[in-house]
Amino acid sequence: MTASNTTLAQPAELKSRLGAILRSTSGNFLEQFDFFLFGFYATAISKAFFPPGNDTNALLLTFTTFWLGALMRPLGAIFLGAYIDRIGRRKGLIVTLAIMALGTVFIAVCPTYASIGIAAPIIVLIGRLLQGFSAGVELGGVSVYLFEISTPGNRGFYTSFQSASQQVAIFVAALLGFFLSEFMPADQVAAWGWRIPFFVGCLIVPFIFVLRRSLEETPAFLAMKKHPTASEIFASAAVNWKIIVLGMFLAAMTTVTFYFVTVYTPTFGKNVLKLTTQDSLLVTLAVAVTNFIWNPVGGALSDRIGRKPVLLAISGLALVTAYPALLWLTASPTFGKMLAVEMLFSFYFGMYSGTMLGALVEIVPTHVRTTCFSLAFALAAALFGTFTPLASTWLIEHTADRASPGFWLMFAAASGFLATLAIYRGGGQTVEAHEPVPA
């Protein structure tokens, strides 16, 4: 092959990999788009779908619904994860998108509590349960797909785009919210305008389906001589329960920090800090941009120096700074101080997440990679991450300390720190998987 031919061949390969990243992460966009909207418009949703009378109780019920949907994630991880490990990454990711889209439609078109009574919160809960069931394997399926198409020495960098792609959704959702708040009266947004972004999410579903249908299967899956049955997958996952539990605690800091800086931030800014809607949305826009930047930076850095140093450094910093940072912010809240604190947390999230995703794929057994990864991440999201808005609201309500969500962030950081030490102990191997883990 001539030099010119080699030069011509390289762009085609690069284009194929970029296309694979875009098509695989498109479902992440829809999932996080809807998750963020539910969190940002939590106040409006609480008034639309839950009994009137007590605003705090209605908001707690809204965040409880948000959390209950996340409790479906482990079930989705087990059943859909086994499905993907058995029939392939491509087909599985199409199925998860269909389930997720159905849940989105349920929430977008649901009548209000004033119109249909108790049926309204039930319909919204069903929509969230469907979204949670799908999300249980969506993140794991995409992470595994990116890991398996990565080039040697760049696994962390490639896998980080699972999380980075979600930030695009946060940015678009926050931008839509900002324009709505600028050009629509606040009472109209609260009454019905908040539904507009949800309908936008419904409209982009067909486009994402087109992208997913053209997704190619990974060479790693095609190279497997035997694909395990569902019973074999469940048995292997049970045997590797220690890895799954450690992976859950490893991912806890990612999920808690993410839901704090994205889903909970608008509510925190408006209801707790008493800043304007525009201020909260501008901060969220900035967070989405920096999250997108720090994720691949963290993944690439961990490819060079190892996963362990990055995970320990970031979780350690978060452990000692989370509460003091929030205490400084809540003492005299301003837009500038909120932006500074959220930028700090965004740095923690992006660097840690970009590293953690590659680490988690590496420590789970190859033949049940999607199931074990998805279950570990789903448990972290269900028990810790999506519980963050509810935990933060409850802590502030019961301690009268507006900085108290910092204790929840510190707990997540400690979980990540200790899990890293346990996973990379000694020579850096996990007993159950019997696979080397790069330290």
State the DSSP string of 377-406. Answer: HHHHIIIIITTHHHHHHHHHHHH--TTTHH
Give the C-alpha separation, 238 to 246, whole Å.
14
CB 209 within 8 A of CB 27: no
Measured CA to CA in angstroms, residue 310 lies from 143, 219, 254, 306, 335 at distances of: 19, 29, 13, 7, 30
Joined tokens for residue 427: 């020579």
Amino acid sitting at position 402: R
CB 135 within 8 A of CB 77: no
Cα R_g (the chain), whole angstroms: 21
pLDDT (tens, 9 = 90+) of the chain, 439 residues, equals: 333 333 333 333 434 667 777 777 776 777 778 777 877 788 888 888 888 877 778 888 888 887 888 788 888 877 877 777 776 666 777 777 788 888 888 888 899 898 999 999 999 999 889 888 887 777 777 787 888 888 888 888 988 888 888 888 888 887 888 888 788 888 888 788 888 888 888 888 888 777 777 667 666 666 666 666 667 777 877 888 888 899 999 999 999 999 899 878 878 888 888 888 788 888 888 998 999 999 999 999 999 999 999 999 999 999 999 999 999 999 999 999 999 999 999 999 999 999 999 999 888 877 777 778 888 988 898 889 888 988 998 999 899 999 999 999 999 999 999 999 999 985 444 434 434 344 4
Joined tokens for residue 380: 């972290």
What is the CA angle 31-20-130, rounded to 5?
Answer: 20
Joined tokens for residue 373: 């990864």
Question: Residues 336, 350, 61, 331: is their CA dihedral positive or negative?
Answer: negative
Return left, alpha or beta for 275; rule: phi > 0 is left, psi -120 to 50 is alpha, else beta. Answer: beta
pTM value > 0.85: no
Kindly tell me the burial class for residue 58, based on how many C-beta atoms sit within 10 Å of its own C-beta (0-12, 13-18, 19 or more).
buried
Report the candidate in 347, 348, 370, 351 with the shortest Cα–Cα distance to residue 360.
370
Q: 429: helix, coil or strand?
A: strand
CB 135 within 8 A of CB 20: no
Give the C-alpha separation, 353 to 275, whole Å.
29
* 274 Cβ neighbours under 8 A, 6+ residues apart: 333
Residue with tokens 């011509």, as numbered in its chain = 8
CB 147 within 8 A of CB 159: yes
Report the candidate in 299, 29, 297 with the shortest Cα–Cα distance to residue 165.
29
Give the C-alpha separation, 173 to 178, whole Å.
9
pLDDT for residue 100: 81
Q: How many CB atoms lie within 10 A of CB 236?
A: 20
Give the C-alpha separation, 145 to 140, whole Å.
8
